[in-house]
Chains A and B, each alone.
Chain A
């Protein structure tokens, strides 16, 4: 599947030639390449399998629905191993050697950030992530408008977490957080929200991933005599941390972030030890388009769509597919502008699956606006390239992950107003 270097160079030369000739017609070299980077191995691997499957499914639906500008789409997925250097190398390879027209990835904000600053933004390649929530990417101007995400930023999750911990009467909270953009971001917004909503943080302990043991970090947190814990991190290390926390006599009032909404976490710690632990995630909007995605995914992979990132990854790729058809050519700036037309205010609603994609293509060809309702609901990017969305509170009951309550988008907006003033 992967082109030989010589072919890629030939392709690159051809592409440059095409640009220099100033061709304005929508003439495109087949197949159209979309690049992806995800942590297929490493500490995020347990949750990545389904996310990668969701991306593959979206590519399949795009191809069945008519491809991009008449061409079939080739998806080239590379592993970032959970490491920034590896992720940047992989993205560089995709953009500079494979010459992908657009890019999706990755999960960890600590890797997505360097990819934006050193690969996609300077090369003017549109990047959509399923899962990186660090707010800085879209606020500090580093992306030049080429970066989008289909997941609400960590601010949404942090504020939702704070309103829930306040509701449950969390006092003297210890925060143990992964020492990445994502972790520090979550903590910063949580701190802001707690100040307004009630509760107090007694100690903040960062941790680095992939350590054999976290006894030292847990001991340091426990020294502050906390009455509750907020753990912000990723499932594999979180299993170790929670087990050590409980072993060393830590209180059982524990809040978690969205990454822990996986049975790997519940079974890893042991279901009977995590009873009534709760966490946040982005809420699943109900509706026919969401159901359609769930059904197609379950049919294809014989697995349910529970877990973080699956719906958002599908939408990330589908948005690319739609935008690349809307764009007048497959250059970065054209695709970037087209991403904003995927959800036109007066457009005809199109949903998930190959049939809906085909419908969207017909509308685009007829020059009519579309309004994409994806696997996570309506996808509308704000000026920064972020989406907003409802949140849900989940908890672990009898070894199962169940939804506790949903914080609607209206409640969320009110919450933002109350905290940000």
Chain B
């Protein structure tokens, strides 16, 4: 029972983690809570749907419900959502930033952007649920734990993506510039880092990861315009839990949120499931306010 709950938690946690990375980056590099991040997840999911509508999800390959076409669609959606995230920045957040807007103004702008973005999806695709594929798969039994092949695949892909991202941050010039910005924007600028270029990269990377989270969330099993919004609070819980600006922090935070939701159900009424990440968050804020991987004295 506990093993099953752990496994389920890791699978949902992987999706939360992909979304939380972007939230964590914007919190640390751009210094505001981007409440429109959840809508990038929705956009990613629906943009992939456009490609799936043309090419189909592909014939089920091996134990999976989809073929290479869905992965190609996910890649295209990641690219477009990355650009869209940057587009929203150019349209909304950059203007405010240049005017030296208060962080709270940025947060309200983010709420506004979120509403517009969500309702654009409703306008184009409507309220009905949509599906990438109508296939239904039967779970594998792995050491007494039921695992869906798709979810195992998603988990592996998420691990691969996070690994690549980690290498990018650790060794590429842009990655190092991003980390420098996260440490101190003023110092980074003084060192000759082009902050606007770093911010652009941050948006594109965050958007792309959000899109992947959206596609994965939509695959199990349906897409609807609130798909991102329903994840929003979990994303923030994960980002703050891990310590903002930290890649491993966001990943661990995401997994912990997923596990907390699922394991808690063994002990409490499922009606309280949604409260679990926040109890965890409260606990962390009380005991270690900078988050698990956050630097002390940063804020």
Contact = CB atoms under 8 A, between A and B. Distances in A.
B134 A211 contact: no
B227 to A, nearest CB: 7
B131 interface: yes
A217 interface: yes
A51 to B, nearest CB: 14
Given A248-B139, A249-B138, A206 B222 contact: no
B268 to A, nearest CB: 11
A46 B261 CA distance: 28
Interface stretch (B188-196, B244-252, B270-278): B270-278
Interface string A237-267: 0011001101111000000000000001000
Nearest to B4: A219
Contacts of A216: 5, 8, 261-262, 265, 270, 273
B59 interface: no
Interface in B197-242: 217, 220-222, 224, 226-227, 230-231
B36 interface: no
Nearest to B261: A216
A264 B224 CA distance: 13
A46 B224 CA distance: 11
Contacts of B265: 216-217, 219-220
Contacts of B129: 46, 236, 239, 264, 268
A64 interface: no
B128 interface: yes
A243 B137 CA distance: 9
B122 A41 contact: yes
A240 B137 contact: no
Given A213-B12, A220-B270, A243 B221 contact: yes
Contacts of B224: 236
Interface residues of B, number: 38
Contact of B222 (A205, A217, A249, A268): A268
A2 interface: no
A268 B269 CA distance: 28
A207 B127 contact: no
Contacts of A211: 230, 273-274
A364 B230 CA distance: 51
Nearest to B15: A212
Interface in A165-223: 179, 205-208, 210-213, 215-217, 219-220, 223
A212 B148 CA distance: 16
A326 B1 CA distance: 62
A45 interface: yes
B230 A208 contact: no
B5 A219 contact: yes
A287 interface: no
A239 B270 contact: no
Contacts of A268: 129, 131, 222
B288 interface: no
Given A212-B227, A216-B265, A249 B220 contact: no
Contact of A212 (B12, B127, B266): B12
Contacts of B4: 219
A72 to B, nearest CB: 31
Nearest to B130: A268
Interface string B1-22: 1001100100110010000000
A143 to B, nearest CB: 26
A270 interface: yes
B136 interface: yes
A218 B231 CA distance: 20
Contacts of A205: 270
B146 interface: yes
A322 B244 CA distance: 62
A248 B135 CA distance: 14
A213 B220 contact: yes
A270 B136 contact: yes
Nearest to A271: B134
A211 B227 CA distance: 9
Contact of B146 (A46, A220, A249): A249
Contacts of B261: 216
A416 interface: no
B139 A219 contact: no
A179 B148 CA distance: 27
21 contacts: A41-B127, A208-B271, A208-B274, A211-B230, A215-B11, A216-B8, A216-B270, A216-B273, A217-B265, A219-B5, A219-B146, A220-B266, A239-B129, A239-B221, A246-B138, A247-B137, A249-B139, A264-B128, A268-B222, A269-B136, A270-B135
Given A46-B129, A216-B273, A220-B266, 4 more contacts: A45-B128, A206-B271, A216-B265, A243-B136
Interface of A: 41-42, 45-46, 179, 205-208, 210-213, 215-217, 219-220, 223, 236, 239-240, 243-244, 246-249, 264, 268-270, 273
Pick the 4 closest A-B CB pairs, nearest first: A45-B127, A216-B265, A179-B271, A216-B262
